Amino acid sequence: MKLLIENNKKINILLFITLMIVFIFLPFFLSGYWIRVFTTIFMYAVIAQGMNIMYGYMGYLPFGNVMFFGIGAYIAAIGMNRGLPFLAVLPLAALTAIFLSILFGIPVLKIRGHYFAIATIGINGAIMGVVQNTTEITGGAMGTTLPIIDKPPAVTYGYFYFAMLALMIIATLLLYLVINSKLGYGIRSIKANEEAANSMGINTIYHKVTAWAISALFVSIAGALYAYWMSFIGPTEVFSTVVAVKVIVIMLIGGAGTILGPIIGSFIVSMLSEVVWSSFLEYHLGVLGIAMIAILFFAPKGIVGTMDDFIKNRGLRLRKKVSV
Amino acid sequence: MSLQILINSILLGGIYALMGIGFSLQWGISGIINLSYGAMVILGAYISLECFNLFQIDPFVSMIISGAILFVIGAIVYRGLLQPLLAGGIIFTLILTFGVRLIVENIILKVWSPNYRNIRPAYIGSTIQVGDTYIPLTKLIVFFIAAVVIYLTYLFMMKTKTGKGIQAVALDKEGAQAVGIDVEKMYLINFAVGTALAGLTGSLWASVYNFSPHLINSITGKVFIVAVLGGLGNIWGAAVGGLFLGIAEAVGLLLFGAEWQEAVGLGIMVGVLIWRPYGLIGQKFFG
Amino acid sequence: MGENNIILTIKSLSKYFGALKAVDGVSFEVKKGEILGLIGPNGAGKTTIANLVTGTFSKTSGSVIFEDTDISNLKSYQIARKGLTRTFQIVEPLKGMSVEENVLVGSLYGRDNRNTNMKNSSKRTREIIKLVGLESKKDFLVSDITINDIKKMEFARVIAMDPKILFLDEVMAGLTAKEVEKTSILIKRILKEKDLTIVFIEHIMKAVMGVSDRIIVLHHGKKISEGTPQEVANSSAVIEAYLGKRYAKEVVNNG
């Protein structure tokens, strides 16, 4: 099944189109609560695509990538609180995030492995600290509100459902186009063998920074949408380490380095979160922790990999029976 | 900066140093970024809280108990969870240790509530006066204990057979194996020593400061900074890194105000990662 | 282009690793269109020179001039884009990618100013894969093919980069006599077709003698001989380097 999903373009396209059709019609059958759940699934899928291009395709793990989510959220909040319409703050948020990805990327992308991952979480923490302390602009540690949409909740939920869905579709398609382009091959070569890539004429710094800028683009727009959707954001929430870890779990479950992996992973992880949140009120942290650890032991190859193994094993057993 | 502030920051730096060494050893020698480390520190604080409330044991004594309990917990976590999954790399380590953190955090929240607690032994409040400077007695004792424990950790690593075994494994895993060192046992002990130091530091922290699960994030941030500043796996480096952080925070406080400490500390860490990835001291292992 | 059609000039190039002088004041010129053999015993500094020229190592002193430009301080990707590249003695494939994708990357990147895009690069890639005889394995991952096939793939990859000058680093290692001959013919053919210059690093004398126009011999990081294959084969310095002083004297004494 793994081979099927990873190598067969037709199956992937079919799967994608099927999923999208389902998602487009789904809200008409769901309650407001579940519409919100799916909006969150789409949002996390976008954040995970941002991680996917960096880790799945380029081999660099930006543990603190959530920084762009927070930046997107806060630029939206700051802009809208000064009277700008949402459609104006959206590109502003994206451009700010892209600018920062280049500014930080040039020095930080020279670092490899663990150190790079930790440097990014350090930057995330530092930016969160800055936001917490520039209270006049950002509202500080208390958080900030955004203008509330003057429409009935059902309509509002619908708007954000389709906005996040659109973002997810665009991000996924964009990623697909990039990965199969000349730029994409350059990016993938860095994961494959960075030294060899250099010797082949690939300007690796340029490619690394460009990949991070694309990542920042996706994630910051998700953040801006989130802020407008929630009407209230706080620094610890939008620069959260929990979100950072959640995205990594999504990558693991869905499979890094595949186009649809983040979508599948986000679906599974969000559903899991839902179950845990609603079933265990006082123990949800602990149960979540146990669930995360259990995934590593029982499904280390992600959902597709595990199903693949399962199918292979069953096939073997069947064959043995027949020959006896 | 006045002498008072300098002394306060050095005393704080002592705790940071001790805290950071455990984390640095785990990251530097096993390559494990232990996101549950902050939770382990706080757990140590709560263990001392119970020892004090139930049995009136002084935290400077119960720190041994904290250290012992956290040693065992660390050994179990390593043997049961981390060792089997080492092949998974950084992704697995981050998820796993974060999962452990969530579990520990939940236990603490359930048993003790999120409220800030403290331990108030009888001698709290006494100070020693040196000229114009007032040094709180407890903070001074904590600093000296931290210094002693750091030195003992150094002796352990340098002079004991086990410590030398850990060093050997850190420098050349295959070579160590070839001369008959039980590599897995070394990694296990190293990790357990790390969590023991976490627990011990928690007790020391509890004797001078308030504590609650809310602190887990900022403590985790601090040990990252100390480990990076000092160079991974470098005991004296972490010691210097801890002191440096204590002073840097005080300077940050003076220049920018209390809330900027975290950002300043993290900013320094990122700077070191970019320009001196082997830490301020510049050596990779055991100063 | 410099006078006498010199494409590459190496002037007093040195690389010291602490006290170890891997390359010590080596100078030579490479003529456009020639095959220049670079030989010497193991550890003579041949691969180090390739590393220095292509920017993988930074030099200790000296200069490298490629088509009138001093490339001594350029980064390796910049040098590759100017048209100077190499194969690796210890293969460096793009892991996780297929044979075809490896060569495709070479075609897409490589030398500048070729207006490469996905379409024309894919076409060139298929042609080159056919040329080296890897067509049946083009969709295999590099982890699933033999080391000799990886070497062939690397050769295809550098050709796809369309270089002006190419350092081949011990491409003959591990080949049978028949394969050596086939590879030699392929190299000569590509040299003509692609208007290339080749610096041929080998430590087996026989393999390189039949192919090279000129030979340079290195020993302990220094150049000890330069000339046609004939001249070099008869040079006492070379014989001494390969066989030792005692045998050299014997060869000389016995005619």
Query: Which amino acid belongs to residue C140?
Result: F
Q: What is the mean pLDDT of chain C?
A: 87
| Helices within chain B (DSSP H only) | 3-30, 37-55, 59-77, 89-112, 137-159, 161-171, 173-178, 183-208, 216-230, 235-256, 261-275
Q: List the subunits that have 3+ CB pairs under 8 angstroms with A.
A: B, C
In chain B, residues 45-104 whose CB comes closer than 8 Å to chain A:
81, 84-85, 88, 90-92, 94-96, 98-103
Q: Rounded CA gap, A157 and A32, in Å?
A: 7
CA distance to partner chain A, nearest, from residue B140 (Å): 30
CATH 3.40.50.300 residue ranges in chain C? 1-83+164-177+194-229
- Distance separating alpha carbons of residues B46 and B130, to the nearest angstrom: 33
Among A118, A249, A292, whose Cβ lies nearest the Cβ of B224? Answer: A118
| Model confidence band, residue C1 (pLDDT cutoffs 50, 70, 90) | very low
Residue type for position C207: A
Q: Do the Cβ atoms of A192 and C97 come within 8 Å?
A: yes
d(CA A185, CA B125): 65
The SS3 call for residue A190 is helix
CB atoms within 10 A of CB A231: 15
pLDDT of C248 reads: 54
C157 with A200: Cβ contact below 8 A:
yes
Q: Which of residues 190-229 of B touch A (CB under 8 A)?
A: 217, 221, 224-225, 228
CB contact under 8 A, A199 and C54: yes
- The answer to whether the complex's ipTM is over 0.85 is yes
User: Does the CB of A199 have a partner CB in chain C at under 8 Å?
Assistant: yes
Question: Would you state the pLDDT for residue B3?
Answer: 80
Name the band, by pLDDT with cuts 50, 70 and 90, for residue B57: confident
Half-sphere exposure of B222 (CA within 13 A, CB side): 31
Beta strands C214-219 and C35-39, pairing class: parallel
Q: Where are the alpha helices (DSSP H) in chain C?
A: 46-53, 76-82, 99-108, 118-132, 147-160, 177-193, 205-209, 229-233, 236-243, 245-253
User: Which tokens belong to A9?
Assistant: 């373009």
> If you compute the radius of gyration of chain C from its CA atoms, what whole number of angstroms results?
19
Rounded distance, CA B47 to CA B200, Å? 10
Chain A residues in contact with B20 (beta carbon < 8 A)? none
Residue C223 CA to residue A232 CA, distance in Å, equals 73
Burial class (CB within 10 angstroms; exposed 0-12, middle 13-18, buried 19+) of B10: middle
CA distance to partner chain A, nearest, from residue B245 (Å): 15
A185 closest CB neighbour out of C54, C108, C161 = C108
Residue B14 has pLDDT above 90, yes or no: yes
Sequence-distant (≥ 6) Cβ neighbours of residue B270 within 8 angstroms: A108, A119, A122, A123, A126
Burial A37-57 (b: 16+ CB within 10 A, else e): bbbbbbbbbbbbbbbbbbbbb
Q: How, if at all, do strands C6-17 and C20-31 pair?
A: antiparallel
Q: Which residues contact A171 (CB under 8 A, 6 or more apart)?
A: A45, A46, A49, A50, A218
C85 contacts A191? CB cut-off 8 A: no
Nearest-angstrom CA–CA distance, A207 and A26: 38
Our measurement of the distance from residue B69's CA atom to the centroid of its chain's CA atoms, rounded to an integer in Å, reads 15
Mutate to test the interface with A, among C51, C105, C115 (most CBs of A within 10 A): C105
CB contacts of A277 in chain B (<8 Å) are: none
Identify the band that residue B270 occupies on the pLDDT scale cut at 50, 70 and 90.
very high
Say whether the B–C interface has 3 or more Cβ pairs within 8 Å: no
Listed in sequence order, the residues at least 6 apart from A83 whose beta carbon sits closer than 8 Å to its beta carbon are none
B243 — pLDDT class (breaks 50, 70, 90): very high
Residue C253's pLDDT band, with cuts at 50, 70 and 90, is low
CA dist C98 and C95 (Å) reads 8
Long-range CB contact pairs, B60-68, < 8 A, 24+: B60/B141, B60/B145, B60/B203, B60/B204, B60/B207, B62/B203, B63/B145, B63/B199, B63/B200, B63/B203, B63/B204, B64/B200, B66/B199, B66/B200, B66/B202, B66/B203, B67/B196, B67/B197, B67/B199, B67/B200, B67/B203, B68/B196
Does B257 sit within 8 Å of A114, measured CB to CB?
no
Closest residue on chain A to B228 (Cα)? A115
Residue A108 contacts residue A53 (beta carbons within 8 Å)? no
Spatial neighbors of B113 by CB under 8 A, at least 6 apart, are none
Yes or no, beta carbons of A199 and C85 under 8 Å apart: yes
Residues A195, C110: C-beta atoms closer than 8 Å: no
- What confidence category does residue B121 fall into, taking pLDDT thresholds of 50, 70 and 90? confident
Give mean pLDDT, residues B249-267.
83
Selected for mutation to probe chain A from B30, B34, B95 (highest A CB count within 10 Å) is B95
- Which chain C residues are within 8 Å of A186, Cβ to Cβ? 105, 108-109
Give chains near C: 3+ CB pairs under 8 A: A
Q: Angle formed by the axes of helices A86-108 and B261-275, to 10°?
A: 50
- C136 or C242, which is more confident? C136
Closest by CA position to B78, among listed B165, B220, B1, B188: B188
Chain A residues whose beta carbon lies within 8 Å of the beta carbon of residue C96:
188, 191-192
Number of domains in chain A: 1
- What structural domains does chain B harbor? 3-275 (1.10.3470)
Among partner residues C56, C75, C105, which is closest to A200 by beta-carbon distance? C105
Stretch C48-75: mean pLDDT: 92
Supply the CATH classification number for the domain C1-83+164-177+194-229. Answer: 3.40.50.300
Confidence of residue B285 (pLDDT cuts 50, 70, 90): very low
Q: What is the mean pLDDT of residues C123-152?
A: 91
> Would you call B81 and A293 a contact, using CB atoms and an 8 Å cutoff?
yes
Question: Could you give the CA distance from residue A282 to residue A293 in angstroms, rounded to a whole number?
Answer: 19
Q: Where are the beta strands (DSSP E) in A114-233?
A: 144-145, 232-233
Among A184-193, B6-15, B244-253, C240-249, the range of highest mean pLDDT? A184-193
Helix axis angle for B183-208 and B37-55, nearest 10°, is: 60
In A, minimum Cα distance to B88 occurs at A300
Confidence of residue C188 (pLDDT cuts 50, 70, 90): confident
> Closest Cα to residue A153, out of A36, A73, A41?
A36
Q: How far apart are CA A27 and CA A35, in angstroms?
A: 6
| Beta carbons of B260 and B175 less than 8 angstroms apart | no
- Mean pLDDT by runs of 10 across the 324 residues of chain A is 59 87 89 91 97 95 96 94 92 97 95 92 93 85 84 87 96 95 96 94 96 97 96 93 94 89 94 88 90 89 74 57 36
Q: Are C222 and C46 in contact (CB under 8 A)?
A: no
Cα–Cα dist A165/A41, whole Å: 9
Contact C52, C17 (CB under 8 A): no
Q: Which residues pair with B128 in a beta bridge?
A: B135
* The residue to which tokens 């394995």 are assigned: C137
Q: What is the C-alpha separation between A111 and A130, in angstroms, rounded?
A: 24
How close A53 comes to chain C (CA, Å)? 16
Please state, for a pLDDT cut of 70, what percent of chain B lies above it: 96
Which of the residues A52, A54, A121, A284 would you substitute to probe the B interface, choosing the one with the greatest number of B C-beta atoms within 10 Å? A121
Closest in A188, A195, A202 to C109, CB measured = A202
Mean pLDDT of chain B, nearest integer: 89
What residues make up the domain containing A97? 2-323
| Nearest C-alpha neighbor of B171 from the set B29, B20, B25 | B29
Sign of CA dihedral B213, B215, B218, B220: negative
- Among chain B residues, the shortest Cα distance to A241 is held by B217
Contacts of C161 in chain A (CB under 8 A): 200-201
Burial class of C200 by CB neighbour count within 10 A (0 to 12, 13 to 18, 19+): buried
